[in-house]
Structure 1
Amino acid sequence: MQVREIMTPSVHIADPNMTIREAARWMRADNVGALPVGENDRLVGMITDRDIVMRAVAEERSAGNTSVREVMSEGVCYCFEDDDVEGASQQMATHQVRRLPVLNRQKRLVGVVALADISRTDDEWAQDALKDISAPTDMARL
């Protein structure tokens, strides 16, 4: 099974210069916890609800004056739409992420594949990936 068969194909792409308030409102409207961040037609990061809380709210930064760029996660892992789902789930497990942007071979964003998408497959390896992605982290790092 290929990633394109289970991914969510339509996603908002956040601009790195928009405020985190705007990004949070998009997340609420779309009922998602993460948005890919794009600039000059390229994926440059991801912003998650956790990024907003840990890097802005906890630091008492203004939601109306803090840009997505200031709190987004850079160095984003991704997969291609024609990758097999097992490989994408292994990548999610390795990096302990719950969502992966999905690119076409021209490196244009075409969707997002989430842990929930993988969990709906009946394959045994999907359950192993779920365990690895959700493994507890070292609390001393927090």
Structure 2
Amino acid sequence: MIVADVMSRGIDPVQPNATVQEAAIRMAEEDIGAVLVGSEDALQGILTDRDIILRVVVDGLDVTGVLVRDVMSSTLFTCRETDDVADVLREMTERQVRRLPVVDEHGKPIGLVTLSDLGKLARDPTATAEMLRDIVEPHRSEERSNDEETAAPQS
């Protein structure tokens, strides 16, 4: 299966000079956890609900005065609609990201693929839940590994 089979098509990026409040309102209206930042021809970043909390709310900044470009994640990992979903899932796992913009052969954004899109394809819900938990909670998977290493053997 390829990304084109599961991705959300069409994007309406937020402009980098929009306020965080404007972006957050859009996220709330569309019931989404992130917006792409840039234009329909090129992306400059992604703004997630986590970015807003950690870079604006925690610091006590005014959402009406902070610009998206000042708090967005500017390092973007992307995929193509022809990529195999297993490869994309592996990439998301390695990079610890929940969303990947989908670009065409010219780098123009055409959509978005999310962990929940990929999770719908799972044949083993238990294995999928564990894998998704490891991606979204990497610090907890490290704690589980440490606990397993230090646990006394059972007789």
After TM superposition, the score normalised by the length of structure 2 is 0.81
- Say what the alpha-carbon RMSD is for the aligned residues: 2.0
Provide closer, same or farther for how the CA distance between residues 127 and 85 of structure 1 changes in structure 2, counting only shifts above 3 A.
farther
Provide closer, same or farther for how the CA distance between residues 16 and 137 of structure 1 changes in structure 2, counting only shifts above 3 A.
same
Kindly indicate which of the two structures has a greater share of residues assigned to helix.
2
Deviation of 1:42 (Å): 1.4
Residue type of the alignment partner of 1:105: E
CA distance in 2, matches of 1:129, 1:104: 28
Secondary structure at 1:32 match in 2: coil
Counterpart for residue 37 of structure 1 = 37
CA distance in 2, matches of 1:82, 1:129: 23
Tell me, which stretches of 5 or more residues in structure 1 are unaligned? none
Secondary structure at 2:91 match in 1: helix
Contact 2:13 2:39 (C-alpha < 8 Å) held by counterparts: no
Counterpart for residue 138 of structure 2 = 136
Counterpart for residue 99 of structure 1 = 99
Q: Percent identity?
A: 36
After TM superposition, the score normalised by the length of structure 1 is 0.88
Number of matched residues? 138
Provide closer, same or farther for how the CA distance between residues 82 and 5 of structure 1 changes in structure 2, counting only shifts above 3 A.
same
Deviation of 1:77 (Å): 0.8
Pick the structure with greater CA Rg. 2
Contact 2:11 2:40 (C-alpha < 8 Å) held by counterparts: no
CA deviations 1:21-57 (Å, max 9, x no partner) are 0000110111100011115831111100110111011
Counterpart for residue 83 of structure 1 = 83
Deviation of 1:2 (Å): 0.8
CA distance in 2, matches of 1:75, 1:123: 32
Residue type of the alignment partner of 1:67: L
Secondary structure at 2:139 match in 1: coil
Contact 1:21 1:63 (C-alpha < 8 Å) held by counterparts: yes
Secondary structure at 2:38 match in 1: strand
Residue type of the alignment partner of 1:137: H
Deviation of 1:128 (Å): 6.8
Counterpart for residue 48 of structure 1 = 48
